[in-house]
Amino acid sequence: MATVIATINLKGGVGKSTTTAALAEFMSAEFGYRVLLVDLDPQTNLTTMMIGERRWQEVNDRGLTLDALFASALDVDRPEFDVEKAVQRGASALESVRSVDLIASSLDLMETQEEMNAWQYEVPGSLEPLLVLRAALAGLGASYDFIVLDCPPNLGIVTANGLMMADAYVVPAIPDILSTYGIPQLQRRVQRFTQRTGHELTPLGLIITKYRSSSTLHRATIERLQRAVFEYESLPAGERDARPRPPNVIPHWIPESNQIAQAAEFLDFGTLRQKYGTHGQFEALRNVTEHVVQNVGIYL
Q: What pLDDT digit, counting tens, does each position of 224-238 carry? A: 999 999 999 998 888
Tell me the torsion sign for CA atoms 237, 207, 173, 187.
negative
Please report the pLDDT score of residue 237 as a whole number. Answer: 86
State the Cα–Cα distance between residues 121 and 123, nearest whole angstrom: 5
Instruction: Give the pLDDT band (50/70/90) at residue 32.
Output: very high
State the Cα–Cα distance between residues 205 and 215, nearest whole angstrom: 22
Q: What is the mean pLDDT of the chain?
A: 93
Look at residue 51 and tell me whether its pLDDT is greater than 90: yes
Question: Taking residues 16-24, what's their average pLDDT?
Answer: 97
Closest listed residue to residue 208, CA positions, set 196, 195, 217: 217
Please report the pLDDT score of residue 210 as a whole number. Answer: 97
Instruction: Give the pLDDT band (50/70/90) at residue 245.
Output: confident
pLDDT tens string 165-193: 999 999 999 999 888 988 988 988 998 99
Other Cβ atoms within 10 Å of 217 Cβ, number: 11
* Predicted model pTM: 0.95
Look at residue 205 and tell me whether its pLDDT is greater than 90: yes
